Amino acid sequence: MAKRTRKVGPAGRFQSRYGVKARTIVRNVELAQKQKHICPSCGHKKVKRISTSIWRCGKCNIKFAGGAYLPKTESGQNVEKILRGEAVPKDFTSQEDRKKEDEKK
């Protein structure tokens, strides 16, 4: 039997409803969430989504919370950088810097 949804993938269930852009967005999100991801604990590509924001590694059986569609979100990665001290938040200024700015005005 021929594959019926070569171009549209999992969004084929919507047929011609909801518009091309909405179906394309759904397709991209679902393809990203259904694939296997790298485990933050053991490093193997065995992480699958259990439910919304809950991810489990098939190798080391660790469960962890992540994003709704991807185990690591962009904002979560930014927070990790800040906690490691690699990046400083853009709107973060110390009280001394604020005083200096006020004195200049």
Structure confidence at residue 9 (pLDDT): 87
Q: How far apart are CA 20 and CA 18, in angstroms?
A: 7
Q: How far apart are CA 100 and CA 13, in angstroms?
A: 60
The verdict on 44 and 30 lying in the same domain is no
The verdict on 65 and 16 lying in the same domain is no
Structure confidence at residue 70 (pLDDT): 93
Residue numbers of the domain that contains 85: 36-104
Sheet holding 47-51, edge to edge: 47-51, 54-57, 63-65
Structure confidence at residue 104 (pLDDT): 72
The CATH number for 40's domain is 2.20.25.30
- pLDDT, tens digit, for every residue of 49-93? 999 999 999 999 999 999 999 999 998 888 888 898 887 766 666
* Confidence (pTM): 0.70
